[in-house]
Amino acid sequence: MNHALFKQSLMVAAVSLSLTACLSNEKQDEKVTINKNPFPSTYKILPQQDTLFTQATVLTGTGERIDNADILFVDGKIKQIGVGLNATNVEVIDAQGKWITPGIIDVHSHLGVYPSPSVESHSDGNEMSSPNTSEVWAEHSVWPQDPGFQAARAGGITTLQILPGSANLFGGRGVTLKNVPSHTMQAMKFVDAPYGLKMACGENPKRLYGSRKQMPSTRMGNVAGYRAAWAEAAEYKRAWNKYDADYAAGKNPLAPVRDLELDTLMGVLDGEVLVHNHCYKAEEMAVMIDIGKEFNYHSGTFHHGIEAYKIADKLAANGNCVAMWPDWWGFKMEAYDMVEENVAIVDSVKNSCAIVHSDSSTTIQRLNQEAGKVLYRANDNGFELKEEDAIKWITANAAKSLGIDDKTGSLQAGKNADLVLWNTNPFSVYAQAEQVFVDGAKVYDRFDEKYQAKSDFLLGQK
């Protein structure tokens, strides 16, 4: 198309648009739009200090290890990593003999929604009243005073996704938080992190609803439930698209009736909400991948993928991240086929995205050691993995799964200064986080009580 013709066609289009508007002869009501961020983050960076760490062993999270490295962060962002850096007007911390990694990220936590103490009044992690509760948002259950947040911070956790439980086919939205102390959830919210949608395969949904004599009571019932929901969501999305198109065309269409459940599913179909699917077994993950293709969404990250090693190629080819434990098993039939090298086998395939997650208020405090177990057991059995590989499972790959890898998860110039100073190799059983930084602000210091937060709940307890 040449330039003149293009201009002409634009003019015609403009004329026809206004004609349509005139012809419809309708006064347009105010456009109905969905506010996709009704609980916006109020996070503010804690007091920060530009800092230069010197002479550390650095695992960047990008697969690289740099010995005797200096790291400079300024205004909460990583500015430079290298050997023999110079900087003025910054705090200099001698990190010789110590290790620095990106801040640790847990993609699967229930801190705040199943907090300590685990009293009935705080058991807010799973709205089990229906197989599909896509309308609920975990963030509305988060109790920011959960002492588990501080314990996790002492273990180097800087970012974590809080998910609803796994009793339902669709458990609701997860939220990504920065692990900073706060008395509101919004002030912990990771700005611009996409929402997650918790889905669950297998035993949990069929056991719970089956025991209530309602669907699903079988795995095939589970799948029928997912598909029915996606079919409905596709219709809902079509209705909104039509409304938007008609409105844009100057008509005065009636907006579809808001449905909070379908809003979330439509978010997935639009690629704005990421799927986080509790799914243990190889054959079930394979089915979930196909459902994603059937309804044109991405099947996302599989959580607790105990059998991921059986289909590592398929998962990588489809671009699924898989979040796994190093060794939990046997609590359910679907967790029977554990192998300690699961994470390493998934990781060994090109374009894979292997993650170590906790799903535990205890192991989240030592996610580095959880990854370490995989590293060493795999190397005992023929793998040749290094620390710089293993760190990705709890940093960069986790960030990718949460859709925040452009901001955190690796030590690269321009990324958030989320990092951990360790007393030794972080994959040692004796490793302890000495200092933890979020956006260049110190949020934890093992040797300085000033940086050891304490929950309201624990204050004044004798």
Partner 1 sequence: MKVIQINKPILNALVTIPFVLCAFITSTVQAKSTAITHATVYTLAGEGTIENATVIIDQGKITQVYSSDNTPENINTDEIIDAKGRILTPGFIGSMNSLGLVEVSAVARSRDSKDKEADITFDASLAFNPKSTLIAYTRKGGITSNIVAPQGGEDLFAGQSFVVDLSGEFNSVTDRQNAVIVHLGAETKGSRALKLQALDYKFEDAQKALAKQALANKSKDKKAKEDKEPKRDELVINALLAGEKPLIAYADRATDLLALIALKQKYGLDLVLVGASDAVLIVDEIVAANVPIILSAIDNLPSSFDSLHANLSNMAMLTKAGVKVILAPEGDSHNINRLRFDAGVAVANGVSRIDALAALTANVADVFKLNSGRIQVGKNADLVLWSADPFELSTKVDSMWINGKSISTRSRQDDLRDRYLTKSDMPKAYSK
> Under the rule (CB under 8 A), what is the footprint of partner 1?
116-119, 147-148, 151, 203, 309-310, 327-333, 336-341, 345, 361-362, 365-366, 369, 372-373, 375-376, 380-382, 427-432, 457-458, 461
Sign of CA dihedral 320, 325, 331, 337: positive
Question: Residue 3 is encoded by which pair of tokens?
Answer: 């330039």
Q: How far is the CB of 269 from partner 1 (least distance, A)?
A: 34
Question: By C-beta, is 203 or 347 nearer to partner 1?
Answer: 203
Question: By C-beta, is 135 or 340 nearer to partner 1?
Answer: 340
Question: By C-beta, is 201 or 399 nearer to partner 1?
Answer: 201
Q: How far is the CB of 220 from partner 1 (least distance, A)?
A: 20
Closest-CA residue to 392 (of 10, 105, 129): 105
Sign of CA dihedral 330, 332, 337, 338: negative
Question: Residue 315 is encoded by which pair of tokens?
Answer: 């998962």
Phi then psi for 130, rounded to 5 degrees?
-155, 150
Phi then psi for 134, rounded to 5 degrees?
-60, -15
Q: How far is the CB of 428 from partner 1 (least distance, A)?
A: 7
Question: By C-beta, is 262 or 421 nearer to partner 1?
Answer: 421
Q: How far is the CB of 70 from partner 1 (least distance, A)?
A: 27
Question: By C-beta, is 74 or 151 nearer to partner 1?
Answer: 151
Question: Residue 67 is encoded by which pair of tokens?
Answer: 């010995």
- Could you write out the DSSP letters of every residue in 231-291? HHHHHHHHHHHHHHHHHHTT--PPPPPP-HHHHHHHHHHTTSEEEEEE---HHHHHHHHHH
Question: By C-beta, is 297 or 427 nearer to partner 1?
Answer: 427
Q: How far is the CB of 29 from partner 1 (least distance, A)?
A: 53
Q: How far is the CB of 197 from partner 1 (least distance, A)?
A: 25
Question: By C-beta, is 89 or 121 nearer to partner 1?
Answer: 121
Q: How far is the CB of 329 from partner 1 (least distance, A)?
A: 5
Interhelix angle 219-248/282-294, nearest 10 degrees: 20
Q: How far is the CB of 184 from partner 1 (least distance, A)?
A: 22
Q: How far is the CB of 219 from partner 1 (least distance, A)?
A: 15
Q: Could you count the other beta carbons within 10 Å of the beta carbon of residue 64? A: 15
28 touches 250 (CB < 8 A): yes
Question: Residue 456 is encoded by which pair of tokens?
Answer: 């309201």
**Cis, bond preceding 216 (omega within 30 deg of 0):** yes
Q: How far apart are CA 243 and CA 253, in angstroms?
A: 6
Question: By C-beta, is 137 or 444 nearer to partner 1?
Answer: 444
Q: How far is the CB of 366 from partner 1 (least distance, A)?
A: 7
What strands lie across the sheet with 273-278, from one edge to the other?
Answer: 104-109, 157-162, 170-178, 195-200, 273-278, 301-303, 321-324, 354-356
Q: How far apart are CA 8 and CA 312, in angstroms?
A: 54
Question: By C-beta, is 21 or 338 nearer to partner 1?
Answer: 338
Nearest-5° Cα angle at 138, 136 to 144? 145
113 touches 162 (CB < 8 A): yes
Question: By C-beta, is 20 or 381 nearer to partner 1?
Answer: 381
Q: How far apart are CA 322 and CA 407, in angstroms?
A: 21
Q: How far is the CB of 372 from partner 1 (least distance, A)?
A: 4
Q: How far apart are CA 16 and CA 21, in angstroms?
A: 9
Question: By C-beta, is 151 or 255 nearer to partner 1?
Answer: 151
Q: Which amino acid is at 133?
A: T
Q: How far is the CB of 454 from partner 1 (least distance, A)?
A: 11
Q: How far apart are CA 320 and CA 299, in angstroms?
A: 7
Question: By C-beta, is 373 or 392 nearer to partner 1?
Answer: 373
Closest-CA residue to 176 (of 159, 198, 164): 159
> What is the enclosing helix (H) or strand (E) of 17?
helix 3-24
